[in-house]
């Protein structure tokens, strides 16, 4: 179980990309007070946590209601995570975590950026939601393993919150170049995990004939 939880932590941490979120948070809160930054970071993490936890509990039931097999979702989720990984490796905006020009203009006019774009799509984006469902899908909801996975989600969100609070210091240490290097390295890991999801989904579909 420990090995499974460690693997899930690495995967979920890579998908959420707390370190890569730091430059984005810095840009969105440029010139704002420390109180505002702290409030936005706290609200964003809490909202993202609620979204992720709800999806962890009802996501599987939603797939069943739509007659979508978990193997089919593994294949699609793996492909989507692979595209995100490619964006990370080449350090370009991911379609799963970016906003359109109209949405960006809306953000500039809003005082509250916690829901959009911080909580969604930057923290609890499609990649994070897919990862939650892919990993927790086969796990019984009343099991100790599922509880451990939810703890991992909370730990990653706490790390994300802390990094957003330490944005000025992190930017001084890493800089934009350092953040991009870390993004490339984690993108390679995510790409390998994504391919494994596709392989598992194909094997499961062939084995079950679904």
Whether 2 is covered by a domain: the verdict is no
Specify the pLDDT at position 107: 46
Q: Residues of the chain whose pLDDT is less than 70?
A: 91-110, 208-210
Specify the pLDDT at position 108: 47
Specify the pLDDT at position 109: 46
Specify the pLDDT at position 171: 84
Specify the pLDDT at position 204: 87
Distances (CA, A) of 130 to 33, 37, 67, 75: 34, 28, 17, 11
The range of the structural domain enclosing residue 94 comes to 29-208
Whether 9 is covered by a domain: the verdict is no
Specify the pLDDT at position 91: 66
- What residue spans of 90-166 are helical by DSSP H? 101-109, 126-136, 144-165
Specify the pLDDT at position 96: 54
Chain center to CA of 88: 13
Assessment of whether the complete model's pTM goes beyond 0.85: no
Whether 60 is covered by a domain: the verdict is yes
Whether 17 is covered by a domain: the verdict is no
When divided into structural domains, the chain yields a total of 1
Whether 122 is covered by a domain: the verdict is yes
The structure tokens 């079950």 sit at: 208
């Amino acid at each position: 179980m420990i090995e499974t939880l460690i693997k899930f932590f690495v995967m979920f941490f890579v998908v959420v990309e707390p370190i890569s979120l730091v430059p984005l948070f810095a840009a969105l809160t440029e010139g704002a007070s420390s109180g505002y930054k702290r409030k936005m970071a706290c609200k964003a993490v809490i909202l993202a946590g609620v979204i992720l936890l709800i999806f962890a509990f009802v996501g599987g039931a939603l797939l069943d209601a739509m007659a979508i097999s978990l193997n089919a979702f593994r294949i699609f989720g793996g492909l989507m995570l692979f595209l995100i990984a490619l964006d990370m490796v080449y350090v370009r905006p991911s379609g799963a975590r970016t906003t359109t020009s109209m949405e960006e203009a809306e953000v500039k006019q809003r005082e509250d950026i916690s829901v959009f774009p911080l909580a969604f799509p930057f923290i609890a984006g499609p990649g994070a939601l897919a990862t939650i469902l892919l990993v927790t899908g086969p796990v019984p909801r009343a099991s100790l393993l599922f509880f451990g996975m939810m703890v991992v989600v909370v730990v990653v969100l706490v790390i994300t919150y802390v990094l957003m609070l330490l944005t000025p210091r992190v930017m001084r240490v890493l800089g934009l170049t350092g953040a991009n290097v870390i993004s490339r390295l984690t993108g390679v890991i995510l790409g390998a995990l994504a391919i494994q999801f596709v392989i598992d989904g194909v094997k499961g579909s062939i084995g079950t004939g679904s």
